[in-house]
Structure 1
Amino acid sequence: MSKKMAKWFFTDFDGTLRNSRNNDLKLNPDDHQFVLNFIEKGNILAVATARPYMQIKKFLKQHYNLRPDYLICSNGSCVYDKSGNLLYDNPIPKLEQKELFDTLKKYEENVIGLIYTTINKEEVLFHKTWNEELKDAYFGMMPENKSLESLEQADILSMRIIVEENLKVQIERFAEKFRLTIGQYIFNFNDGIYIDITSIKTTKGQAIRQLQKLTKFDDKDVIVAGDDVNDFSMFEEFYENSYLIKQERNATFRSQAKKVIEQIHEIEVD
């Protein structure tokens, strides 16, 4: 009898793994137990998130006692194993980064805040409306209150820029100009328009493919789950076992995944 192969579960964090629907930053108890049972059976857990590595690793351990086998962070800009070894990274190209900063400096009054990730650092560069709610949302991070100039020479993996509407248009033009090398995700929140900038080759789906080259798992053993536009790449790469977590904000694109569920504990694992 052949040995049963491990399943690989790649799950988004906000709105997917953490999805209590009570705004209490907790895991749904049934979802938490599902993940624990999944791991106990010898399967592989990977969290694929827009959040940076050090932040999400610490939070998962401290609040849920979870140590995923792999962390795919900053929308796929980097991949780490459980021991903290960097397996893959893909920074923003320098030419494009320079032009982006030129745009931001030109419209600096319309930049509400900027959060960035490098290999060695993940910080809030500045934020004009920072408050306790945002501090909680970003797991205790606090603004450095530094200038754009202080960051523009760094090797940046990803940037989250919070902007007003007129700067959004300028960044969209920038992304269109560099559509072959730059990727962007746009989210609308109460405190502004959030624009995540990465290299075009940076997606959660492509990061999983990079990990697959190293670990040789089979597509049929992969399960992916997410709830927003930055999860589309996972759905595209592994559609047959893709799950979208139903949220109000994703009513218009639920067809991107094969199955739509309320909570991850509804996922069927063979």
Structure 2
Amino acid sequence: MTIKAIVCDMDGTLLTSDSLIDPQTLDKLKELQKKGIKLILASGRSYIRLLPDALKLDMEKHGGMVIDVNGTSIYDVSSKKRDRLGMLNSFHINKINEFFSSFNVEIQYSQDDTIYTYLPEEIYTLKKNIRGEMKLPDDYPWMGGMYGWLCDTRDGYPYQHMIRSLQHSPESCNKISIVQDPHYMSFVKETLTKHAFIGDYEFVFSDERKMEITNKNINKGNALKALQEKLNILDDELIVFGDSENDVSMFHGRKYSIAMANALPLAKQSANFHTEDHNHSGVYSMLNKFEQNGLF
């Protein structure tokens, strides 16, 4: 069966550790789009952070699509039309705040171009010391990321607010992220899996430091299914690349599901194929193999 679409996660999959698309992968994806293959980017990032790479890939010329914020919305790069599938309102935010207030964790509330970062006293003091040691300017973001306690994401979230009270949480957001070091996050996950609260929302780890929360049934897999119905693409006509737990819902039922060598254990277990890591052209390598086997 001929492949009609390629679905790529971004961080840890299509992007290297330097947040770049390696040149041969970039060229290959452009080439395949010219042959009529649809390119779909599926990420935990907001579409605003995804657009620069989408434009580098010429997706606006070929009807490329973006599934952003773990399936919260679908964005058409050509028409610039965005269909929202679900957000967290104040009721859900307060409910999530109440549960995680008993943990020593950073809580991030992601909107389209804005992030609110709540820091409890212990984490605030730790970050304040790190910022001082690094001599960072006052306007440097306080939020944590994949690789450490501080992460500058102003390229996609130009408006960043640090809050010290949960009462100052926003009234709505696309997703909530719970952030701490990997050891503590293992404790959070273990506790959560034993609590009935786990059934109320979608909980996925995008990396070892960060767990992301969206409304029930709002995930990449369901957004991809909706997009497939719109584009008339069957499960076996897709190639799906990913590395994290938020990609597992896209792997389910898809024959050509591919986990990167750097993928989290659950993603590797859920994929039918494996390829090299994101720093060694894993996406390009597998696309090349499939092309040689006549799938394109």
Q: Per the shorter chain, which TM-score range?
A: 0.7 to 0.9
Cα gap change, 1:161 to 1:251, in 2 (>3 Å): closer
Q: Aligned match of 2:167 in 140, 149, 159?
A: 149
Q: Deviations over 1:14-63 (max 9, x none)?
A: 121113xxx332212221111111111121111001111212224543x6
Partner of 2:225: 209
CA distance, structure 1, for counterparts of residue 179 and residue 190 of structure 2: 11
- Counterpart mapping for 1:257-268 below 5 A: 257-262=271-276, 263-265=282-284, 266-267=286-287, 268=290
Q: Name which of structure 1's ranges 168-177 and 205-214 shifts more when overlaid on structure 2.
A: 168-177
Partner of 2:51: 57
Partner of 2:96: 100
Deviation at 1:77, TM superposition (A): 1.5
- Counterpart mapping for 1:58-97 below 5 A: 58-61=52-55, 67=60, 69-82=64-77, 83-92=79-88, 95-97=91-93
Letter in 1 for 2:199: L
SS at match of 1:183: strand
Deviation at 1:252, TM superposition (A): 6.7
Q: Aligned match of 2:115 in 123, 141, 154?
A: 123
8 A contact 1:70–1:81 mirrored in 2: yes
8 A contact 1:175–1:183 mirrored in 2: no
CA distance, structure 2, for counterparts of residue 177 and residue 31 of structure 1: 43
CA distance, structure 1, for counterparts of residue 94 and residue 153 of structure 2: 31
- Counterpart mapping for 1:173-252 below 5 A: 173=192, 176-186=195-205, 189=208, 193-238=209-254, 240-247=255-262, 249-250=263-264
* Greater than 4 Å deviation, 4+ residue runs: 63-68, 104-107, 130-133, 136-142
Cα gap change, 1:203 to 1:87, in 2 (>3 Å): same
Partner of 2:20: 26
Q: Name which of structure 1's ranges 172-181 and 211-220 shifts more when overlaid on structure 2.
A: 172-181
Aligned residues: 253
Deviation at 1:113, TM superposition (A): 4.6
Q: Over aligned residues, Cα RMSD in angstroms?
A: 3.3
CA distance, structure 2, for counterparts of residue 226 and residue 185 of structure 1: 13
Partner of 2:147: none
CA distance, structure 1, for counterparts of residue 118 and residue 158 of structure 2: 11
8 A contact 1:92–1:182 mirrored in 2: no
SS at match of 1:10: strand
Q: Name which of structure 1's ranges 28-37 and 161-170 shifts more when overlaid on structure 2.
A: 161-170
Deviation at 1:186, TM superposition (A): 3.0
Q: Deviations over 1:73-95 (max 9, x none)?
A: 11112111112212241123654
Cα gap change, 1:174 to 1:99, in 2 (>3 Å): farther
CA distance, structure 1, for counterparts of residue 185 and residue 24 of structure 2: 43
CA distance, structure 2, for counterparts of residue 170 and residue 236 of structure 1: 22
8 A contact 2:245–2:266 mirrored in 1: no
Q: Aligned match of 1:158 in 164, 175, 190?
A: 175
Identity %: 19
Cα gap change, 1:187 to 1:88, in 2 (>3 Å): closer
Normalised by the length of structure 1, the TM-score is 0.78
Letter in 2 for 1:27: I
Cα gap change, 1:34 to 1:70, in 2 (>3 Å): same
Cα gap change, 1:221 to 1:252, in 2 (>3 Å): closer
8 A contact 1:224–1:243 mirrored in 2: yes
In structure 2, list runs of 5 or more residues that go unmatched: 141-149, 277-281
8 A contact 1:113–1:163 mirrored in 2: no
Cα gap change, 1:187 to 1:78, in 2 (>3 Å): closer
Q: Deviations over 1:209-238 (max 9, x none)?
A: 111232322223211111122111111131
